[in-house]
Amino acid sequence: MHHSTLSFHICRTTAWIQKQFPSVRRRGEWSSLVALSSLMVCTLAWGDLAGLDKPADAEAMQARVDAASREIRSRPDAPELYVQRGEAYFKLREFDKAIDDYSTAIRLDDRQDDAYFGRGMALGRNGEVDKGIADLGVYIKRHPKSSLAYTKRGVRYLWKGDEANAEKDLVQAIALDPRNAEAHDDLGVIRARRGEYDKAAEHFNMTIRHDPTYQKAYHNLAMVHYLVGREQQALMAINESVKLAPEDRNALLLKSKILESLGRHAEAKRIREEAEFLPAGNWSEQMPVQ
């Protein structure tokens, strides 16, 4: 089994709330980061809660802000307009403005459930994790069958380092929707941190089965294989990760370590040097392996 200063990552975007955890050490000291989150880009309709967390074209989102603002000037008491603009602000990563709009929508009409969901998401990204969890709790109370909401609240518990509640939410998310790729991935991170590598691999494989484009699941699967000394399987998994995101610095750094362990030193050095010129990713929160 390999030992290393390694990090699994849970899904999130900018405004990291980085937590410190004990880590496993490996000969040669490696501190490169492993990322985990979906990088799919899609065009989204208003009210698509599942797509709220995904990247979007900034110009298109600014156009939506402008359009919603014009509507708000003519209908300032329409709560749904603030929800729409809040979604656009969220996707622009202007979380303070998103929170303000969602709050206005709730003040105008407390039945705006999507506003509670969106505000819960934005509060978490803004570092107000407990408040975000509370808002998502309101949404869950009103929508107890929402696998998505349990997933997002579970991730926020992970940001706090509260793995017990995170696990409960993620298990419930999977019970409600066994095809929930994100929930499987994040639950896999929890299993891996406990040293339950085979169980972690099962969850990462489930993520890949249900969403073959989930790049970070391949990444985390490669990490698990690497930690237990399955270098060939690790290489196969990380190759899939790199294929989906060729300029992912963290994936390339992990691949270099796997190649080193296979004795392919020249190739590992070339990839490591290539990776060092790439920007560090900002789509994940690091969760070191215990």
Which residues have C-beta within 8 Å of that of residue 172, sequence separation ≥ 6? 147, 150
- Determine what percent of the chain is predicted with pLDDT higher than 70: 80
How does pLDDT run across 30-88, given as a tens digit for each residue?
222 233 322 222 233 455 888 898 889 999 999 999 999 999 999 999 999 999 999 99
Q: Does the structure show a pLDDT above 90 at 12?
A: no
Domain ranges within the chain, ordered by starting residue: 1-40+179-290, 41-143
CA distance 190 to 31: 20
Amino acid identity of residue 27, one-letter, is: R
DSSP three-state, residue 286: strand
DSSP three-state, residue 7: strand
* H helix runs in 7-78, sequence order: 58-74
Task: Give me 281's structure tokens.
Answer: 């990713």
Q: Does the structure show a pLDDT above 90 at 224?
A: yes
CA distance 129 to 124: 4
The topology under which CATH files domain 1-40+179-290 is 1.25.40
Concatenate the DSSP letters of all residues of 180-206 into one string.
-HHHHHHHHHHHHHTT-HHHHHHHHHH
Over residues 268-274, mean pLDDT: 95
Choose between 280 and 35: higher pLDDT. Answer: 280
Over residues 246-253, mean pLDDT: 93
How does pLDDT run across 149-180, given as a tens digit for each residue?
999 999 999 999 999 999 999 999 999 999 99
CA distance 237 to 247: 16
Choose between 285 and 50: higher pLDDT. Answer: 50
Which residues have C-beta within 8 Å of that of residue 252, sequence separation ≥ 6? 242, 271, 272, 274, 275, 278
Q: Does the structure show a pLDDT above 80 at 181?
A: yes
- Asked if the domains 1-40+179-290 and 41-143 are classified in one and the same CATH topology, the answer is yes
| pLDDT of the residue at 28 | 31
| pLDDT of the residue at 1 | 61
Q: Does the structure show a pLDDT above 50 at 26?
A: no
Q: Does the structure show a pLDDT above 90 at 213?
A: yes
Q: Does the structure show a pLDDT above 70 at 98?
A: yes
DSSP 283: S
CA distances from 249 to 53, 143, 242 (A): 21, 38, 9
Choose between 48 and 191: higher pLDDT. Answer: 191
Q: Does the structure show a pLDDT above 90 at 187?
A: yes
| pLDDT of the residue at 36 | 30
Strand partners, 196: none
Q: Is residue 36 a contact partner of residue 189, using CB atoms and an 8 Å limit?
A: yes
Neighbours of 134 (CB within 10 A): 15
Could you say which architecture CATH assigns to the domain 41-143? Alpha Horseshoe (1.25)
- pTM (global) more than 0.95: no
Q: Does the structure show a pLDDT above 90 at 288?
A: no
Mean pLDDT of the chain: 85
- Determine what percent of the chain is predicted with pLDDT higher than 90: 76
Confidence of residue 280 (pLDDT cuts 50, 70, 90): confident
Choose between 25 and 139: higher pLDDT. Answer: 139
Q: Does the structure show a pLDDT above 70 at 140?
A: yes
CA distance 118 to 116: 6
